[in-house]
Amino acid sequence: MPLQAPLPSEYTERSDAELRDRISVAKEKLGRRVCILGHHYQQDEVIEFADYTGDSLKLSQRAAEQRDAEYIVFCGVHFMAESADILTAPEQQVVLPDLSAGCSMADMAHIDQLEGVWPLLVEQVGAPLTPITYVNSSAAVKAFVGRHGGACCTSSNAKLVLEWALQGATPGRPGTGRKVLFVPDQHLGRNTAYALGWPLEQMAVFDPHQYNGGLSAERCARTQIFLWKGHCSVHQLFKVEQIETLRRQPEPWRIIVHPECTWEVCQQADEVGSTEYIIRTVTAAPPGTCWAVGTELHLVNRLAQQNRDKRVRSLAGMQCLCSTMYRIDLKHLCWALENLAAGRVVNRIAVDAETRHWARVALDRMLALVPAQPVSAR
Ligand code: SF4
């Protein structure tokens, strides 16, 4: 992960109120030349300045539509800024206000690991193998997937993409059709495949730290879906015991969780869906209903504020927040915008042309399966 140099004291020693004023001035000075994107998991004080909020892919698509915007300031994490750079025009420059805002899940699948394990796995599986990567991965991993005939997916469209990748394969009938290596989130891969009817026995966790993923040749032969051993450090904090505790309470809690949660948690939940699905479902629910939500805390708190006619709480009793995204704060946003307003581009995220091309291929294969959805504008 790139290192962020410490900010000057003119940012670190200022009050939030002063930083807010300075951000407003810089934003006004830049006008339509800047577009600020705020991911759903971002803290409220940053979201306040976002032109658009949404999930990573939709924000990148919206950024690409803002042809006047020379600068895209992505208040998210590193892989999201890379995706924005891939999807926007070459003259649009993408800025990540804090370079240390990475994603622990994306970091669990390094391109060197993937390139290292791929040839042997292809040899062992005994069938055509398609790589699928969750968009929560580096541009280099996306490019690898594009080069090898695969596609990206999001938590909203993972079912469609996985079905496409498993052409000719039938659940419960080993040895038919194509096989899949799903990177980097084992939980999204497992939950999606299971929802499509694939039994757990036809899936295997592929541990990139072990020879051939820790799998024997025989296990490879009878596995249809290889699940890269990666996870989200936030969503793995949700546990079955938390659901059981809520089920014992007098209120009729509805449990809704993100598919990055474990299979066991998803099986016990009432509903499983992407961030956008969670927002839509809770917002459309009747007044008086009670919702325990298994996803990032800033989003849950915002949902609770926007749905005061319902009870909305985090499924966990602890602070399940994305600590890396939290690194983007008023200080870093102010620093990035004031530099842009002064004509200096700081923390530019630029993907090289070759990587950009193949990553775009993987993204376009996904987009061909799923038309783009609108994002919420503020
Ligand atoms: S919530 Fe999890 S998957 Fe999303 S950016 Fe944070 S660490 Fe990565």
Domain boundaries, the chain: 9-102+324-351, 106-228, 235-314
Q: What pTM, to 2 d.p., does this model score?
A: 0.95
- pLDDT category of residue 372 using cuts at 50, 70 and 90: low
CA-closest candidate to residue 39, choices 27, 23, 26, 57:
57
Superfamily of domain 9-102+324-351: NadA-like (3.40.50.10800)
* pLDDT attached to residue 377: 37
Torsion of CA 277, 143, 161, 238, to 10 degrees: -40
Residue 151 has pLDDT above 60, yes or no: yes
Q: Is residue 340 within 8 Å of residue 26, measured between CB atoms?
A: yes
Superfamily of domain 235-314: NadA-like (3.40.50.10800)
Q: Is any ligand 1 atom within 6 A of the Cβ of residue 233?
A: yes
Tell me whether domains 9-102+324-351 and 106-228 share a fold: yes
- pLDDT category of residue 376 using cuts at 50, 70 and 90: very low
Q: Is residue 121 within 8 Å of residue 129, measured between CB atoms?
A: yes
Beta-ladder partners of 264: none
Residues above pLDDT 90, as percent of the chain: 87
- pLDDT category of residue 1 using cuts at 50, 70 and 90: low
Q: pLDDT, tens digit, for every residue of 316-364?
A: 977 789 999 999 999 999 999 999 999 999 999 999 999 999 999 999 9
The DSSP line for 269-303 is SSEE--HHHHHHHHHHSPTT-EEEEES-HHHHHHH
Task: Find the mean pLDDT for residues 244-264.
Answer: 97
Q: Which helix (H) or strand (E) holds 263?
A: helix 263-268
Beta-ladder partners of 108: none
Strand runs labelled E in the chain: 34-39, 52-54, 71-75, 93-95, 129-134, 151-153, 179-183, 203-206, 225-228, 253-257, 271-272, 290-294, 311-314, 376-377
- Give the ligand 1 atom nearest the CA of 232: 2
Residue 6 has pLDDT above 90, yes or no: yes
Tell me, in angstroms, the distance from the centre of ligand 1 to residue 77's CA: 8
Question: CA-CA distance, 364 to 177, in Å (whole number)?
Answer: 23
Give Cα separations from 65 to 52, 92, 349 (angstroms): 12, 11, 19
Residue 260 has pLDDT above 80, yes or no: yes
Query: What residue owns the CA closest to ligand 1's atom 3?
Result: 232
Strand runs labelled E in 48-89: 52-54, 71-75
- pLDDT category of residue 374 using cuts at 50, 70 and 90: very low
Question: CA-CA distance, 182 to 141, in Å (whole number)?
Answer: 12
Residue 13 has pLDDT above 60, yes or no: yes
Residue 38 has pLDDT above 60, yes or no: yes
Task: Find the mean pLDDT for residues 56-61.
Answer: 85
> Which of 1, 37, 39, 41 to mutate for ligand 1's pocket (most ligand atoms within 8 Å of CB)?
41
CA angle in degrees (0–180, nearest 5) for 252-254-256: 165
Query: What residue owns the CA closest to ligand 1's atom 1?
Result: 322
Return the structure tokens found at 110.
């390094």
Which residue did the predictor score with more confidence, 97 or 1? Answer: 97
* pLDDT attached to residue 8: 96
Residue 164 has pLDDT above 70, yes or no: yes
Q: pLDDT, tens digit, for every residue of 192-227?
A: 999 999 999 999 999 999 999 999 999 998 999 999
For domain 106-228, the CATH class is alpha beta
* pLDDT attached to residue 375: 37
Q: pLDDT, tens digit, for every residue of 288-307?
A: 999 999 999 999 999 999 99
Mean pLDDT check: name the lowest of 165-179, 241-255, 291-305.
Answer: 165-179
Query: What residue owns the CA closest to ligand 1's atom 8?
Result: 103
Q: Is any ligand 1 atom within 6 A of the Cβ of residue 236?
A: no
